Amino acid sequence: MASTDTFSTVLTESSLEGAEVAKVLSIALFGLIIYEYLITLDDEIEYFWRASLSPAGFLFLFNRYMPACIALLIVIAFSLPNPSDAVCQSSTQLTLLLTVAAISVIQGILITKIWYLFSANRSIKIILITAFIVSLGTTLAFLYMSTNEIQVIKVNYFPHLTGCRVSRPPSFWRIYIPSLILHTGLYALTAYWALTSRKCRDRHPLIKRLLQDGGCFYFIVFFSVGFTSIGSFLVDNPYINVPAIYSPIVLSTSSIAVNRLLLGIRSLSEDLGDEIQWLTNEVGTTTEIDSQHLESGVDWVNDNRHSISIYSMESARHSDDTPEVWDHRPVATWV
């Protein structure tokens, strides 16, 4: 890593103000995460804490709490009094690495949903796994190349300043491009499934919610990644450039959006309780079938308080068998 002694210690007033903007924006985003957490805490307790924790539920809770911790670390790094060079460099690299890790969890949550939509398509499954690995690997490679160039800026001439001040890494814009490409592919697969699947011809409300909220989520990701990527180009405008790089805008907005997506689906499933016959009790035993929905292509919704699954009549291998002995393979599952 290049020596920090070779880096200029002279800062322009606009650069300093850009860092302050990044600090204020980070505090605002942290506050937004906490606000969203507080107003949806009842739903989290209702849908997740009152049931046994499943792997999908663990991913949800990780995404629920980890981004807030990362945003808090960023705020602390901006506020430390007289931090050492080693602390500044390590904290900056750590928060960027944790941000990528948390975003990969968000991607993993979305991939599991697409996985179940194409549960019978082995080729799509292979593509999903490959795309995720390539996206994560490329992002980590770009992150290493960028953070390896980070240098601590000495602020000896500005004793009133607090917190870490580091250089802006080169080519930072490319870090989130693989994620944007992956999210584009995931939403395209969701839309393709909805438009071509026989199971969606009646547009069940859960499918509508998945498509609508999925589209909203993609728009948020596109906007936040676009802001970060474009802002990282604007090196002559620190008011935009520094906040785009060092504030957790991509992580916080993506985390809140996916939380709302999952909680919205669970809430809708509860609202449809009188309209759709739930087929399983707490231990997953089949209890009742709504023949109207069995004929509609979207056959029933299974809610065992761990996940929501939409089943298909194609899972009935023997038409003369009772429903209890069918091969219950879901065509779509959500947290």
> CA-CA distance, 31 to 207, in Å (whole number)?
32
* Residue listed under structure tokens 């082995």: 122
The CATH number of 4-273 is: 1.20.1070
pLDDT at 90: 82
**C-alpha distances in Å from residue 70, one per residue of 61, 73, 138, 236:** 14, 5, 22, 28
0.85 surpassed by pTM: no
- Cβ burial of 269 (10 Å; 0-12, 13-18, 19+) is buried
Average pLDDT value for residue range 285-305: 36
pLDDT at 154: 66
pLDDT at 299: 37
**For residue 66, which of 297, 286, 259 has the smallest C-alpha distance?**
259
109, 60 Cβ separation under 8 angstroms: yes
44 has pLDDT over 60: yes
**For residue 99, which of 129, 68, 128, 76 has the smallest C-alpha distance?**
68
What are the tens digits of pLDDT across the range 159-200? 666 777 777 777 788 888 888 888 888 888 887 877 776 655
**For residue 331, which of 187, 115, 185 has the smallest C-alpha distance?**
115
Percentage with pLDDT > 70 across the chain: 67
Q: What are the extents of the domains in the chain?
A: 4-273, 276-334
257, 241 Cβ separation under 8 angstroms: no
Q: Which helix (H) or strand (E) holds 263?
A: helix 249-271
> CA-CA distance, 102 to 264, in Å (whole number)?
21
pLDDT at 14: 61
What are the tokens at 288?
A: 């009742």
Confidence band, pLDDT 50/70/90 cuts, at residue 296: very low
Q: Which helix (H) or strand (E) holds 226?
A: helix 205-233
Confidence band, pLDDT 50/70/90 cuts, at residue 273: low
Ramachandran angles phi, psi of 310, nearest 5°:
-100, 125
What are the tokens at 242?
A: 């520094």
pLDDT at 290: 38
Give the strand pairing for 330-334 and 308-311: antiparallel
